[in-house]
Structure 1
Amino acid sequence: MAASSRGISRTLLPSPKSRAAIAKRMAAVSGEMTTAAVAEMEVRHPWFSELDAKHRSWITLVAQAGIDGFVHWFSSPEPSPPSTADVFGSAPRELARRISLYQTVELVRTTIEVAEKQIDELMPRSDRPVLQAAIVQYSREVAFTAAEIYARAAELRGAWDARLEALVADAVIRGETDESVLSRASALGWRSSADVVVVVGPEPEDETGVAIEGIRHECAKAGVDMLGAVQGDRLLVVLGGDRIAEPEAALAVVTRFAGIFGPGPVVVGPPVEHLADAARSTRAALSGYRAAVGWPNAPRPVLADDLLPERALSGDGHARRALARTVFGPLADSGSGLLETLVVFLDNNSSVEATARALFVHANTVRYRLKRIQEVTGYSPSDARDAYGLRLALTLGRLLPDGRDSGRG
């Protein structure tokens, strides 16, 4: 008998009459083969003994169906590829939830090895060579069938998870995070109990699912939880974990996957304390995303708070209030001449000497006050970009009552 690496060639098998006779003899001992296979599973695989009676009985049925399927295929009068679709019956869908693909492969391997051994022990010597060659081909087809079943199950689960993730992310972004949403997020692998950041960027040019999985991979390496969803032409990503508690730390994490977004700005919202508060980070990130066109040379990614001037000019009331409260208010309350020094410094083309002459103070006093302004506001008057933000903050501080915006924004 001839055999190849792909199994025995059906054209070289015995005549249909001879195959039918061999198959009949093997069918008579198939029950003993199944019993031996299940017994060997118990010996080899400790986890098999831990299964409940229902799952163990299903595996027994699968093993019996596999052996019976081989007998039926071998006895078929017309050469054809093995059809193993009925080997697993209705069990795989349930079994796939209870045992892994690796465990399934181990069970198939055990069953085939036992069947080969039983052929040598139970079948006549003249039947053994052709049966051993044939079972090689049949076992390969069984393994492919098992892999196909698990692949389909994984695809279905992946599609379901993607839909669920999109729903959860949408609810979080819109501020509709109740206990059911938190529970679903947990089911998707969200473990963070604090520190959340929302990132907004252009929709990826690559296939969306692949892009989101790429971001998830980078987040996993960074030790950060992640949810993602595409809304229109934008991709919104929700990050969680203590590693993004500070804006600069969050920026560093987003830098790892910023290239996955499509062309355009990638804006990182401010950290908030909980997933239920993510809408605040979303609001800032979306506002920054819309206003980023006003700063063409902005870094990528960029913090939403670094876009406060553009956001304020584009009509974001939260940004106007933030500039007035965090810049103008503290300077006005300092009582150390900081506000006056800043105004004069900006009005004199950022010249320290001209500012000193106008205020009748030493140039070193001006330098000290400029340093204090940076410490109080986070903006350096000597930096062109920061000076732009400070100038706008001064204007807003004067326009808004007590440095606050009483109107709607």
Structure 2
Amino acid sequence: MDELSTPAVASLRQAQNIIIEHSLDRISAAHPWYRTLPEAPRRQIESVARLGVTMFVDSVETPDAAVMPSRIFNVAPAALTGTITLEQTLALVRTVLDVVVDEAPQVVPAQDHNAVRILVLTFGRDVGFAAAEVYAHAAEARGAWDARLESVAVDAMLHDSPSDAASRAGTAGWRGTGPVVAIAARTGLDAMATSHLRHTCRQITTDSLVSVRGDSVIVVLGGPPTPPSVRPLKSRRADPDQAIDKVALEVAGKLDAAAVIGPVVAGISQAGRSLRSALAGLRALPGWAEAPNPVHADDLLPERLLAGDELAAEQITALVGRPLHVMGSPFEETVATYLALGGSLEATARTLFVHANTVRYRLGRVSEQVGWDATDPRDGLMLHMAVIISRLDADSDD
């Protein structure tokens, strides 16, 4: 880098304060948003501009001394990075740089004009990089803190009361009151992949929490609340649940790993139920080698029950056992007998003293009303579990 003559350095030092004042005037005139800032941030920005010009003159006066452009931002607290954006900061740097480029050559001897321009531009480039580094560190710190808050919120869903879980989620930035669903996946994500996952979730749904735990990741997604005007309509009331479940399938599908989606629950205070179901499903997943990926936790209820998940018994009763019982004893008995006899229509008909078509009709009605088809091996397993749980419950009540 070319060194300036002694008279040039003396002239810059003499003109330093005037250049600073002109820079501040240009900032105020060129950037309307600057004038709307509170007084404290404006004073901090002024301090940064003053120190920047001063450090430039210092650097040309003692070129052998190590100059750290990042020191310019030491006079402004880290909170300033949350007040103005990196783009705005670089715009301020450019404005001050323009003033120095315009005025500094005018105060030095003619032979130093080109040298001072080169020095100004080089110093301005370094300041720009320093600003980007300051904002990068601030963003990294905020990201680490946000990740910690999200993990604490997820822990609260698993271990604390519903009200505490909702409070922790609010601290982590959760805003909505709509349906919620959890995803548990067996995958290890580095910082870049985790950041990309958070960005993906925030792009496609209202609220999200991401917690990475060693070789697994937990995602909690929230959709918009149901508009009050449509709540009385049952068919429409299910739409938000279906929408957030669809989002969960999309997110889980992008994880490129074994993923289990919990049931949709009404709100963030109940998210623990969805999360526990998803985690139980992930633990039980090896029991169903043919399971699709991603898979819903409710589709893994037989495996979850065998793995000792208490929620599985409740869910099988709610989804299968109770609706089957409501249909009446002929239907319940037909399903139980059909499954006990290995799926034989004729043997079931003989045992129940009915026609085979009656058995076929009853099984069809159960498939329509309950949602599981006894003639399908996988659905039959679910129904068989429901029958066993129902009998055990009845025996324990006696």
TM-score, normalised with respect to structure 1: 0.84
In structure 1, stretches of 5+ residues that fail to align are 1-8
Structure 2 vs 1, CA of residues 336 and 392 (structure 1 numbering), >3 Å: closer, same or farther? closer
Q: 1:346 aligns with which of 333, 336, 339?
A: 339
Aligned to 2:234: none
Query: Would the alpha carbon gap of residues 293 and 30 (structure 1) be closer, same or farther in structure 2, given more than 3 Å must change?
Result: same
1:4-403 mapped onto 2 (5 Å cutoff): 9-10=1-2, 13-14=3-4, 18=5, 20-76=6-62, 78=64, 82-178=67-163, 182=166, 185-202=169-186, 204-207=187-190, 209-231=191-213, 233-242=215-224, 249-258=243-252, 265-335=258-328, 337-352=330-345, 355-356=348-349, 359=352, 361-401=354-394
Summarize deviations over 1:31-87 as a string: whole Å, max 9, x none: 111111111111110011112233222222222221121111112253x67432432
Give the Å deviation of 1:322.
3.5
Taking the aligned partners of 1:184 and 1:128, their CA distance within structure 2 comes to 60
Q: Quickly say closer, same or farther: Cα 1:372–1:275, change in 2 above 3 A.
A: same
The alpha-carbon deviation at position 105 of structure 1 amounts to: 0.3
- Deviation for aligned residue 1:247: 6.6
Closer, same or farther in 2 for the Cα pair 1:246/1:406, shift >3 Å? farther
In the TM superposition, what is the alpha-carbon distance from 1:389 to its structure 2 partner?
Answer: 1.4
SS of alignment partner, residue 332 of structure 2: helix
Q: Is the 8 A contact 1:200 1:285 kept in 2?
A: yes
SS in 1 for 2:293: coil
Whether the 8 Å CA contact 2:7–2:109 is kept in 1: the answer is: no
**Structure 1 vs Structure 2: percent identity of aligned residues?**
37
**Worse-matched range after superposition: 39-48 or 321-330:** 321-330
Counterpart CA distance in 2 for 1:329 and 1:164 is 39
| Alpha-carbon distance in structure 2 between the residues aligned to 1:360 and 1:298 | 38
Q: Which moved more, 1:329-338 or 1:131-140?
A: 329-338
State how far apart, in whole Å, the 2-side matches of 1:96 and 1:127 are: 37
Q: Which runs of 5+ in 2 are unaligned?
A: 226-237
Q: Which has the higher helix share?
A: 2
**Residue of structure 2 equivalent to 1:5:** none
Per-residue deviation, 1:326: 4.1
Provide the C-alpha distance between the structure 2 equivalents of 1:196 and 1:175, rounded to a whole number of angstroms. Answer: 17
- Secondary structure of 2:72's counterpart equals coil
- Residue 279 of structure 1: SS of its match in structure 2? helix
1:226 to 1:85, Cα distance in 2 relative to 1, 3 A: closer
Q: Distance in 2 between matches of 1:94 and 1:318?
A: 46
Letter in 2 for 1:305: D
Aligned-residue offset at 1:289: 2.4
TM-aligned CA deviation for residue 383 of structure 1? 0.9
TM-superposed deviation, 1:327: 3.1
Kindly provide the amino acid, as one letter, of the partner of residue 51 in structure 2: A
Distance 1:145 1:333, change over 3 A: closer
- TM-fit CA distance, 1:359: 4.7
Q: Matches of 1:86 and 1:362 in 2, distance apart? A: 90
Deviation larger for 34-43 or 191-200? 191-200
Instruction: Answer yes or no: is the 8 Å Cα contact 1:308–1:323 preserved in 2.
Output: yes
